[in-house]
Chain A
Amino acid sequence: MFRAIRPASALYRNAAVAATTAARTTPIRHSFALNFARSYASAGLNRADIEKRVLDILVGFNKVDDKKISLQANFNADLGLDSLDTVEVVMAIEEEFTIEIPDKDADEITSVAQAVEYISKRDDAH
């Protein structure tokens, strides 16, 4: 009988501890999230950096006329790239930022602005 009581009381105590820690961790978790956001921003992936690296990829692409490259450029309309060239540009972006872009998302990227936008949303981009 003594044995039966102990686990029960232990269980109760654990539940009480869990309840108090849960109450305590709520604000703590919040500040943790803030810290995380801050460390991510300091990783060096700011917008200007992303923009520069995307433009550099296009400069390295010898089908593209360097003078036409801008942040507003559309791969097809402005840079004269067709759908296959666009695939290569997106693949180069994948390698540059060490991310894997799913086909569905890759098909949506048709301009420099869209590429920059997409990378800025990816937390795992380097």
Chain B
Amino acid sequence: MSTAPVRRSGLQQDVIALYRNCFRAARLKPEANRPHFHAFIRMEFRKHSEVKQRDFATIEYLLRTGKRRLKVYSAPSIEDVTI
């Protein structure tokens, strides 16, 4: 039931923050297309679920690319995505 707060590494925290920011950005898209963005975000993150927790270099690289792509996809001109 009540659990001790989960201790997460800084990197893990960063990934979660990026995931959250992606969903926040999706809120600014036309309502009808939001589920497409949600599915897209989930897919892009889950794609790399096999990356080992200790593989810092890969995770840092993916974080950087992820942040850059979030910026690109945040542009108001992008109104929909297809998977």
Contacts and interface: CB of A to CB of B under 8 A. Distances in A.
Chains A and B belong together in one complex? yes
B2 A103 contact: no
A103 B19 CA distance: 11
A106 B13 CA distance: 12
B12 A111 contact: no
Contact of B2 (A84, A88, A107, A113): A113
Question: Looking at chain B, what size class is its interface with the partner chain?
Answer: 10 to 19
B9 to A, nearest CB: 12
Interface string B33-50: 000001000100110000
Interface of B is mostly: helix
Contacts of B19: 84, 87
Contacts of A77: 3
Interface of A is mostly: helix
A72 interface: yes
Interface of A: 72, 74, 77, 83-84, 87-88, 91, 95, 103, 106-108, 110-111, 113-114
B16 A107 contact: yes
7 closest A-B pairs by CB: A91-B23, A72-B1, A87-B20, A87-B19, A84-B19, A83-B16, A110-B3
8 contacts: A87-B23, A88-B38, A91-B20, A95-B27, A106-B20, A107-B5, A107-B16, A111-B1
A86 B59 CA distance: 20
B17 interface: yes
B2 A114 contact: yes
A68 to B, nearest CB: 14
B14 to A, nearest CB: 11
